Chains A and B, each alone.
Chain A
Amino acid sequence: MPSLSDIKSLLSVFASVAVISCTSGIPDAALQDGSLPLVSPEYAGTTIPCNIAPLTFTVVDDAEACITRFSSPSGSGFSVRGKDVTPKKAQWRKLMAESEDADVTVTVYEKKSGKWTGKQPFRISVSSDPIDAYISYRLIEPTYEISGDMAICQRRLSDYREKEIYSNKMDFDGTSRQCINCHSYQAYGTSNMQFHVRQRDGGTIIFRDGKAQKVNLKAEGMLSAGVYPSWHPSEPLIAYSLNSTKQYFFAEGKQAAEVIDSFSDVVLYDPDRQAVSIVSNDPDDLESFPYWAPDGKSLYYCCASTDSVARAAKTNAISNAYDQVRYNIIKRSFDTAAKTFGPAETVLDAASEGMSATLPRPSPVEPYLMFTMAPFGNFHIWHKDSDLYLMDLRTGEYRSLDALNSSDVESYHSWSSNGRWIIFSSRRDDGRYTRFYIAYFSRDGIAHKPFILPQADPGHDRRLFKSYNIPEFMTEPVPYTPKQILKTVKGDAVKAHM
């Protein structure tokens, strides 16, 4: 039951609000304090796009009341009362318009023991490079084996509007839930999209120009159905990895689990012919995470090479070898007319440096390749020391993106269509629940300090028991309704063939 102290604190908040509401604007007699305010999430020194939703945060300092002032370079701006700082959309839009390619100054005033103090202001840079209008992601508990409610969602970045593209609640029969995963789009558009449904009514749901199809991608002779997808940027082709994956658990330590591929290949699927062809299936190699170059003339993927450790990894003795499986980044040229691939070229020999590189993602506009790297393995979301790296494809040199990395996991990442923004997943907040961070990537190849995907309620992420998973930028919303998608999910699957 609420205690007496709870009721007292509630009354004091009401009293403070009453006092503040009698004053207007910023307190005149505020003392100045040299320290930065304690706010969550933290935005000081970040760079944000001019079309982003209002940044919201909570002042965590133990203050009786707060007023936060947002100022444009010209000095105009607005104030927000209360510890939960949630700017109004119209005011925010005006502020962004006035602050393009300049800084917004944020000053927090706190009232303690009846006296107002102005904390040291912090700045947020506003870039005139817009970010794509939408992102999509999967909302899922950081689960091990049993699935809960999960949904693939789209979120408008200019505000907080989130809509479910498809949710496994819609086909929940009371006992078993579907797993839905690996949403992917062609060239940032959404009329061509795909995702997988596993377990009941399983199959790969592919939409092409308004037409839906459910496909069973496990053609005869393939080791699994398609897993990690990548649409060709212009052709009706999707590259998939095929993965035979197992999950293992640690009895102690902060790493709870390790996910390991016993076998994996990369294939190409042609939805017009429902035909699958092999890209790479060396029996001694573990290939995964394909991704097309922006011109569609080459395909990147990661591959653990044929050495004794990789072979050991394919046996049940994996427990002795899991931390020695290391992936390199490979590229194969692609002839669009003949639909054939060239020989494998090693883009990054990470294994020789005792590291394992995965998730190669080339910038859509510049010769950069971003990837995730950790000391071993390919499922880096469980690796605390996983970080983001950037390779200059002109020189082959790569570097850690220190501005983006933290002491915890950084993993899945995507470029915006103009190449100026990066969204990536990180577990820096609590070590378990993945959140999205967005960073500006300037034309001189520098990644700026990231900010967390803003939420209407600044406490939302802290309360949410789900992870944000697989961020993908989109230039438009998905045009298909959940019920349209459900109809396809419940329909019969077309069997792919080799």
Chain B
Amino acid sequence: MKSFPRIVNCACYAAVAAVAVYLTAHYSAYVYKFHALSMFEGSWDWFAAHFDRPAALLTWCGRLFTQICCRPALAIVLLMLLLAATVWLIRRYIVCDKRFGALSVFPATLMLLFVMRLGYNVYTLKSDALIFTQPLGLLCALCLFRLLISSRGGIFKPLFVAVIGFPLSGFYSLLALLMFSFRTLVRGGDNKRFAAAAVSLASAAAVPYLWYLAAFNGANQAYLWLYGLPYPDLSGLWGVAWPLVAALALPLLLCLIPFRNKEHSSRWLSAAVAVFSAAVAIPALYILPCRDSLLHRQLKAERCIEAGDWDGVLKQTALSDVTNDILVAYRNIALFRKGQLVEKCCSYSFDCVPVYVNGNQMVSSRLAGPTIFFHSGLVNFASRWAFELNLGNAYALERIKYLAKCALVNGEYGLASKYIDAVGRNSFQHSWARRYRALLSNPESISDDPELAPILKINRYSQKFWLASDKAANNVPAFYLYMDTACDTPEFLEWAMATAMMTKTQNHFEDLYSAYAAAFPDMPESVRQARLIFAVVSEDSQRIDAVREDLGDSVKIDPDDRLNYAHYYYQKRYAEPF
């Protein structure tokens, strides 16, 4: 029976290794996205600008490590090494009782679950470098804890650790102090333990405030104790956050397991803590096999778009009947760029299923705005959305690259140079920067460039549309997405309705139609036809009847004709392949 704990431990470690293999196999596009949505300039400017807030060094390290995600397999290996170190530290310095050794894998596993189960939230991160900052933070907390429990230093050692650790690692230094307090209180045998625990708790409470008074002008006092945690991203997202909360709570719980104490009563306490810890951790594991296939297809499609692999985009977007508006948009772009949009936009399996888009999805759909607009040739909109998203979320390599490419297409070479330099300061992006720097002040090369030449060509077709800020521009990545309110001109409304048809967002089409009818009652026959066509495409007989009744007998179409309104619209403007 003595070998039983060893077997359990080995099984746990094997399970973690299996998780690594699983992640490598299935999450590479997802891990890559962390890199694309992060930003690391390799200069001290960022560091200098953020040093007026706690945990600047931790975040800086997280940003640095996140760049490795452009090689997903390497990043996963690094992540697993960090987590293995976490397991080892917990096993060595917290769960010293071999019978409970298996518990040491739980915090690391939960941390892994947290970063891998962010799902669509990966697009909206405001905290930089989440994939590595939190595992690094936990590791940092364990190292500080190790320092605290070492025999050297008096009872004021926690104060010293807090003063040094808080500016560097924020919350994670406080976690180390809390762990130390817990461990000290249950350790027994030391008359000074209560004093040490009290100093530790007092340091955790007071030192952040003292640092705030002394230096941290850039910190919000209300969140002072949380710096280092991704609280801006997780407020209101407890479903996503709770593996992280559990990962951080478990080391605290495990510290309650007495340190090499042989007393019978302590064994019961240890067992109780172990059971409770497992009860906290194990439920989180159920989300391990859950995988949002739409998100992962979308991420793979984005990598194909980045590579100009339009067949790859079509392959990803045609993998199942279930879809979302972004995948529809990506497919339309691919068809458009292959010169097949007009013939095939309504020819795939889910073409007759209109997508109803709710508010939450609209928000996430905007995140694809730069990609959609740029590859549709609307560079000003792409540029604007890349900029807005950089400010609303975090500065991202992907979006800086779009800004650079938009500036090149627009002939703004000074601006393009600035963005290219910013990307080029990242050690992993030298070749990207070299490729685009060669296009600076060189319009001939741009018009010959396989990626930018088509964009340049499509951009020339763009009309001078107006988007009012409080209406369309806020709610519309318009070209392939949707809009929910009226705009200024009939031309824009027609355009928006065509895009609503393309994305099959029936509810938005109806909203637009109503706005059009109210603002411009003398609408062309083709717009009425479009409404009828869209109703017919929905294959909803009630809806078709209602629309027919509303439009009257004068509006006629051939329901079997696939040359619908979108066909009419795009044939007029974009008939040739790009």
Interface set of A (CB-CB < 8 Å, partner B)? 1-3, 6, 141-148, 164, 167, 169-175, 246-254, 256-257, 316-319, 429-433, 460, 462-465, 482-483
Contacts and interface: CB of A to CB of B under 8 A. Distances in A.
Contact of B218 (A6, A167, A248, A465): A167
B217 A249 contact: no
Contacts of B220: 169-173
26 contacts: A1-B427, A6-B430, A141-B387, A144-B384, A145-B473, A146-B392, A167-B217, A170-B220, A174-B231, A175-B232, A246-B468, A247-B473, A248-B466, A248-B469, A249-B381, A252-B380, A252-B464, A430-B412, A430-B415, A431-B412, A431-B415, A433-B415, A462-B418, A462-B421, A463-B41, A482-B217
B201 to A, nearest CB: 26
A464 B425 CA distance: 13
B388 interface: yes
Given A169-B53, A246-B469, A250-B464, A164 B217 contact: yes
Nearest to A245: B469
A267 to B, nearest CB: 24
A232 to B, nearest CB: 31
B217 A174 contact: no
A236 B466 CA distance: 43
Interface in B468-487: 468-470, 473-474
A167 B379 CA distance: 32
Nearest to B213: A483
Query: Does more than half of chain A's interface fall in helix, strand or loop, or is it mixed?
Result: loop
B9 interface: no
A144 B45 contact: no
Contacts of B219: 169-170
Interface in B381-411: 381, 383-384, 387-392, 395, 410-411
B388 A145 contact: yes
Interface in B211-234: 217-220, 222-223, 231-232
A256 B378 CA distance: 12
A199 to B, nearest CB: 14
Given A172-B220, A249-B384, A253-B464, 19 more contacts: A146-B391, A147-B391, A167-B217, A167-B218, A169-B53, A169-B219, A173-B223, A174-B231, A250-B380, A250-B466, A252-B380, A252-B462, A253-B410, A254-B410, A257-B384, A317-B488, A429-B414, A432-B415, A462-B418
A114 B469 CA distance: 58
Contact of B235 (A171, A174, A252, A462): A174
B501 to A, nearest CB: 20
Contacts, number: 133
B489 interface: yes
B259 to A, nearest CB: 37
B227 to A, nearest CB: 11
Contacts of B411: 254
B156 interface: no
A408 to B, nearest CB: 9
Interface string B411-425: 110110110011001
A251 B427 contact: no
Interface string B44-76: 010000001100000000000000000000000
Contacts of B384: 144, 249, 256-257
B126 interface: yes
A433 B418 CA distance: 10
A175 B393 CA distance: 9
A155 to B, nearest CB: 15
A2 B134 CA distance: 27
Interface in B439-479: 459, 462-470, 473-474
A251 B388 contact: no
Contacts of A433: 415, 418
Nearest to B53: A169
Contact of A252 (B232, B379, B467): B379
A217 B289 CA distance: 56
Nearest to B391: A148
Given A2-B430, A169-B218, A319-B488, A144 B412 contact: no
A314 B411 CA distance: 34
Nearest to A163: B217
Contacts of B150: none
Given A1-B428, A146-B391, A252 B418 contact: no
A298 B421 CA distance: 49
B43 interface: yes
Interface in B501-554: none
A148 B390 contact: yes
A430 B417 contact: yes
A234 B126 CA distance: 45
Given A250-B380, A319-B488, A432-B415, A143 B388 contact: yes
A74 B130 CA distance: 59
A38 B425 CA distance: 22
Contacts of A460: 45
Contacts of B410: 253-254
A314 to B, nearest CB: 14
Nearest to A319: B466
Contacts of A429: 414
A167 B418 CA distance: 25
Contacts of A253: 380, 410, 464
A252 B459 contact: yes
Contacts of A316: 468, 488
Nearest to A316: B488
A431 B414 contact: yes
B469 A249 contact: yes
A142 B231 CA distance: 27
A209 B370 CA distance: 49
A1 to B, nearest CB: 6
B99 to A, nearest CB: 42
B430 A251 contact: no
Contacts of A257: 384
Contacts of A173: 220, 222-223
A172 B218 CA distance: 9
B401 to A, nearest CB: 14
B385 to A, nearest CB: 9
